[in-house]
């Protein structure tokens, strides 16, 4: 393997073409590979260059639609951006089953974000806390001055919390600004507010402030959804019992809970990405919430109702937005929001929670009955056929034979193709 020199000074100052040229030289890209980098898709090169640093191209993923969703009595077509086969089909399938008993019921979601202010070097943490409580309204007013538009629209700081820690570096007082960020994801808003009040807080507590930053554990922004899944449509009592056992497995075992929640995030992240929201914020919030009671736990729960049907519930923090960030800049995110036909961020959170529940139900149903591999392999076999250069009109036929013969391999796809040609 040839060694590559990764030191490039002033790379960020170059144009996209200049950067492409340097990378092409360093890693010896072929002409075809360079051409691929030059395909910007629906982006203007200038647009990409202002989104992140050191841009050399754009990267696309499939954009699919999950069908059949009814949430709080309204139908939704849900855009999903994801590379994994079966996920969109599985969500649509679970939504179809949920429809029979009225679809998903999602609760109201408050748009409250937490901003953390870390006060250190305190001589008397109790006194410092008292100062915060005494000056609460002053802190709220100061923070609100930082975003007059948000206040005009009805948002702003709604409360303040304090938390005390004894650490290896002495006592630490953490102040939480609880901010109603309305339709924004809110990280920028709350960071600005926290920075804006820190001088005053230092003065009254006589401490030293270091961090002032949003918490992604958005416990005041919880989304909850629920659905009843008809036992017959699920495949009968044994499947229902299988799903209940799968849930119990995740409840007692963090090794299983991690995979259980991964399935939920398949849906949640696909919609988060489609709408141009911050997937890492959603991931970290969800997993932190899953561990909040001391043991990493499933974000959904299941039980049987009096009818023997399966009831599923989901609860997790969802810091999403329909204004700010990428949501209005990315052309496909704008399109995704139009397809979703949501009025506000609360509705987006309600849909996202329902999608997470649907995704989880579909995975557990497959795992508790025929297993996950069958569906996966059918889709995978098509990809294998394409990789084996099977012409488009024969892909379905070859893929079917690969599945039937349980040999989903490129060499076998080539063999089958040769056989078909001779016939």
Q: Catalytic residues, which ones?
A: 84, 262, 278, 376
Instruction: Using the minimum distance from each CB to ligand MEV, give the nearer residue, 243 or 340.
Output: 243
| Bridge pairing between strands 310-317 and 156-167 | unpaired
Residue 288 binds ligand MEV (CB under 6 A) = no
User: Candidates 94-102, 303-311, 364-372, 379-387 — which segment interacts with ligand MEV by CB under 6 A?
Assistant: 364-372
Least Å distance, CB 44 to ligand MEV, is 34
Number of residues that bind ligand MEV (CB under 6 A): 10
User: Candidates 31-39, 150-158, 289-297, 359-367 — which segment interacts with ligand MEV by CB under 6 A?
Assistant: 359-367
Residue 263 binds ligand MEV (CB under 6 A) = yes
Q: At what angle do helices 125-134 and 136-145 cross, to 10 degrees?
A: 70
Least Å distance, CB 128 to ligand MEV, is 46
Least Å distance, CB 250 to ligand MEV, is 8
Residue 300 binds ligand MEV (CB under 6 A) = no
Of 80, 240, 363, 413, the one binding ligand MEV by CB under 6 A: 363
Least Å distance, CB 366 to ligand MEV, is 7
How far apart are alpha carbons 321 and 313 in whole angstroms? 23
Helix, strand, coil abundance in the chain, percent, nearest 5: 50, 20, 30
Q: 277 is written with which tokens? A: 């929201």
DSSP secondary structure of 396-421: HHHHHHHHHTT---HHHHHHHHHHHH
The angle at the Cα of 143, spanning 223 to 282, to the nearest 5 degrees, equals 25
Residue 262 binds ligand MEV (CB under 6 A) = yes
How far apart are alpha carbons 391 and 307 in whole angstroms? 51
Instruction: Using the minimum distance from each CB to ligand MEV, give the nearer residue, 261 or 275.
Output: 261
User: Candidates 21-29, 235-243, 271-279, 361-369 — which segment interacts with ligand MEV by CB under 6 A?
Assistant: 361-369
How many other C-beta atoms can be found within 10 angstroms of the C-beta atom of residue 141?
Answer: 13
Which residues in 269-336 belong to E strands, given as ranges?
Answer: 300-304, 310-317
Residue 277 binds ligand MEV (CB under 6 A) = no
- Binding residues for ligand MEV restricted to 365-384, rule: CB under 6 A: 367, 372
User: Candidates 39-47, 48-56, 186-194, 363-371 — which segment interacts with ligand MEV by CB under 6 A?
Assistant: 363-371
Of 68, 198, 215, 266, the one binding ligand MEV by CB under 6 A: 266
How far apart are alpha carbons 145 and 112 in whole angstroms? 18
User: Candidates 153-161, 259-267, 387-395, 409-417 — which segment interacts with ligand MEV by CB under 6 A?
Assistant: 259-267
Instruction: Using the minimum distance from each CB to ligand MEV, give the nearer residue, 205 or 381.
Output: 381
Q: Residue number with the shortest CB distance to ligand MEV? A: 263
How far apart are alpha carbons 266 and 355 in whole angstroms? 9
Q: Residue 175's closest CA among 160, 156, 190, 191?
A: 160
Instruction: Using the minimum distance from each CB to ligand MEV, give the nearer residue, 151 or 372.
Output: 372
The DSSP symbol for 276 reads T
Of 191, 259, 284, 383, the one binding ligand MEV by CB under 6 A: 259
Q: 55 is written with which tokens? A: 């841009």
**Residue 130 burial (10 A CB sphere; 0-12, 13-18, 19+):** middle
How far apart are alpha carbons 128 and 124 in whole angstroms? 6
Which residues contact ligand MEV (rule: CB under 6 A)?
84, 259-260, 262-263, 266, 363-364, 367, 372
């Amino acid at each position: 393997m040839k060694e590559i020199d990764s030191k490039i000074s002033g790379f960020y100052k170059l144009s996209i073409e200049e950067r492409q040229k340097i990378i092409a030289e360093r890693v010896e890209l072929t002409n075809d590979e360079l051409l691929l980098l030059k395909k910007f898709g629906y982006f203007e090169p200038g647009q990409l260059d202002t989104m992140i640093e050191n841009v050399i191209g754009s990267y696309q993923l499939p954009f699919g639609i999950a069908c059949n969703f009814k949430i709080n009595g309204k139908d939704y077509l849900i855009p999903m951006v994801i590379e994994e086969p079966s996920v969109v089909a599985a969500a649509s399938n679970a939504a179809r089953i949920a429809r029979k008993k009225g679809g998903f019921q999602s609760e109201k979601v408050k748009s409250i974000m937490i901003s953390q202010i870390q006060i250190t070097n305190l001589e008397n943490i109790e006194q410092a806390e008292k100062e915060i409580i005494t000056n609460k309204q002053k802190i709220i007013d100061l923070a609100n001055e930082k975003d007059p538009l948000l206040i005009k629209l009805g948002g702003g700081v709604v409360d303040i919390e304090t938390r005390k820690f004894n650490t290896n570096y002495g006592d630490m007082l953490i102040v939480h600004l609880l901010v109603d960020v309305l339709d924004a994801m809110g990280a920028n808003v709350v960071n600005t507010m926290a920075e804006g009040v820190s001088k005053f807080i230092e003065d009254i507590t006589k401490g030293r402030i270091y961090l002032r930053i949003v918490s992604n554990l958005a416990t005041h922004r919880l989304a909850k959804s629920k659905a009843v899944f008809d036992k017959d449509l699920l495949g009968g009592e044994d499947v229902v019992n299988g799903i209940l056992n799968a849930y119990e497995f995740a409840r007692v075992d963090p090794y299983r809970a991690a995979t259980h929640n991964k399935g939920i995030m398949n849906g949640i992240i696909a919609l988060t990405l489609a709408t141009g929201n911050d997937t890492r914020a959603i991931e970290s919030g969800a997993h932190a919430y899953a561990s909040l009671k001391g043991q990493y736990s499933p974000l959904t729960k299941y039980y049987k109702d009096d009818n023997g049907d399966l009831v599923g519930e989901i609860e997790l923090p969802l810091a999403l937005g329909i204004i700010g960030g990428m949501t209005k800049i990315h052309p496909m995110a704008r399109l995704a929001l139009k397809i979703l036909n949501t009025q506000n961020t609360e509705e987006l959170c309600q849909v996202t929670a329902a999608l997470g529940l649907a995704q989880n139900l579909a995975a557990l149903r497959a795992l508790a009955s025929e297993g996950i591999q069958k569906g996966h392999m059918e889709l995978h076999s098509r990809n294998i056929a394409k990789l084996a250069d099977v012409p488009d009109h024969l892909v379905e036929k070859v893929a079917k034979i690969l599945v039937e013969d349980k040999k989903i391999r490129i060499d076998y796809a080539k063999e089958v193709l040769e056989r078909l040609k001779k016939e």
